[in-house]
Homo-oligomer: A and B are copies of this chain.
């Protein structure tokens, strides 16, 4: 098998959205070639990457001979539809709605406020300083995780993981926010259900291997 016959993932060590895809690929045991796009250095806007993904965004997941798939949740659902084991979604429609709803609280309500392009706008256009950015980051990360905690703590479908006793897309999205929280050293108290679930996730090889600190390009300080 030549290198070209593997799927390719374009990502960045710290990218929360790349992490999600990396975990799913690990759980499904799909061997992939990962390429680093240095977001801090602006490599997502390089012509070389634009030729691969005209959107200039990571993650991009490319199956041999196919156009790039983009947007982490779309990639997760695709992987789950095309590689059945282990299933990352519940078997029932209401269960899937709950998993997608928890995932959206993290990937729509929380994460988009914390990305580099928002930081750039706030710093360059509004003149926000580092302390202001830190408050912003902490505020939205806390708001998002506390809202998820409120659900997980009281809804009967919560189990070992966010939904029952198997890893779902909700756990992958939850862990994708907590790994970034940890990269930035943000402390959020009083989320015991999340802490418990994340501890279980992080004991699984696919989550361990996907950690930002273990990726190519991670600075020494993050290791």
Contacts and interface: CB of A to CB of B under 8 A. Distances in A.
Interface residues on A, range: 35 or more
Given A118-B113, A128-B126, A132-B126, A77 B104 contact: no
Contacts of A81: 93, 96
A120 to B, nearest CB: 11
A135 interface: yes
Interface in A101-125: 101, 103-105, 107-109, 111-113, 117-118, 121, 125
A147 interface: yes
A204 interface: no
Contacts of A28: none
Interface string A130-172: 0010011001000100010011001100000000000000000
A74 B101 contact: yes
A78 interface: yes
Nearest to A78: B97
Interface string A54-85: 11000000000011011111110110011000
22 contacts: A54-B151, A54-B154, A55-B147, A66-B94, A69-B101, A71-B101, A71-B108, A74-B100, A74-B103, A74-B104, A75-B97, A77-B100, A78-B93, A81-B96, A107-B108, A108-B112, A109-B112, A113-B113, A117-B143, A121-B136, A125-B135, A125-B139
